[in-house]
Each structure stands twice: as structure tokens, then as C-alpha cells.
């Protein structure tokens, strides 16, 4: 079940889980300003940066939404967002999105 695997607000209904917009925002921020190449997760930033440069932010957003909220495989999300011949961008973006979601889920939550 996507809600169990991807703890995104839209899947779980839990307001303490990050929304898909938070994941998209972090992905695009990291693409625009990647972490240094020596950082253990910098490859995720480069995956998203390459996809943005290739197809634009809208395609990246669509791939993330399909992967994290619709339960679509990264490959199928890539085909939908980037086209049949360039689905590998969707795989890269999906993997990066999961890493960003894990990062957001591991941040301490502040009660309002």
C-alpha cells in the first residue's frame, strides 16, 4: 500500500507527514543548489538537476506525484512524465524523491 511505503500526507492523511508539495519543493531546491559532490547524497540532487535540465520542472513534479501518491512505479512515472524513450529520468527522480521524503520524515516534528 503506498501509504505504508511512502509516508506522504496525501497517502496517510496524517498532518505530521510531509505533503507532496514539500517533497517537490525540496527536490527542486536541491536541483537548483545541489549539495557538494563529496556529500553522500549529492547524486540524488544531480539526478533531479539532470531531469529538470532535460524536461523542465513540470515533468519532475509529475514524476514525483505519480511515484509517491499514485503508487506508480518509477519507470511508469518516467514514461508518463518524460516519454517512452526517456523513462530513466523518472527512475532517477523517483529514487531521489524517496530519499528526500525519508529525509523529511526523519526531521523532528514541531507541535503547533
Instruction: Tell me the per-residue pLDDT of 46-90, one tens digit each, with 9 for 90 and over.
Output: 999 999 999 999 999 999 999 999 989 999 999 999 999 999 999
pLDDT at 2: 40
Instruction: Tell me the per-residue pLDDT of 93-111, one tens digit each, with 9 for 90 and over.
Output: 999 999 999 999 887 655 5
Find the helix or strand (DSSP H, E) in which 95 lies: helix 88-106
CA-based nearest residue to 61, from 94, 18, 14: 94
Global confidence as pTM: 0.89
Q: CA 18, 23, 24 angle in degrees (round to 5)?
A: 140
Amino acid at each position: 500500500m503506498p501509504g505504508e511505503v511512502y509516508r506522504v500526507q496525501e497517502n496517510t492523511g496524517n498532518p505530521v507527514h510531509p505533503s507532496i508539495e514539500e517533497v517537490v519543493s525540496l527536490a527542486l531546491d536541491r536541483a537548483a543548489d545541489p549539495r557538494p559532490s563529496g556529500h553522500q547524497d549529492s547524486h540524488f540532487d544531480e539526478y533531479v538537476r539532470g531531469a529538470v535540465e532535460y524536461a523542465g520542472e513540470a515533468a519532475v513534479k509529475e514524476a514525483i506525484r505519480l511515484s509517491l501518491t499514485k503508487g506508480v512505479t518509477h519507470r511508469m512515472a518516467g514514461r508518463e512524465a518524460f516519454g517512452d524513450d526517456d523513462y530513466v529520468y523518472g527512475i532517477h527522480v523517483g529514487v531521489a524523491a524517496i530519499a528526500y521524503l525519508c529525509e523529511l520524515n526523519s526531521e523532528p516534528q514541531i507541535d503547533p
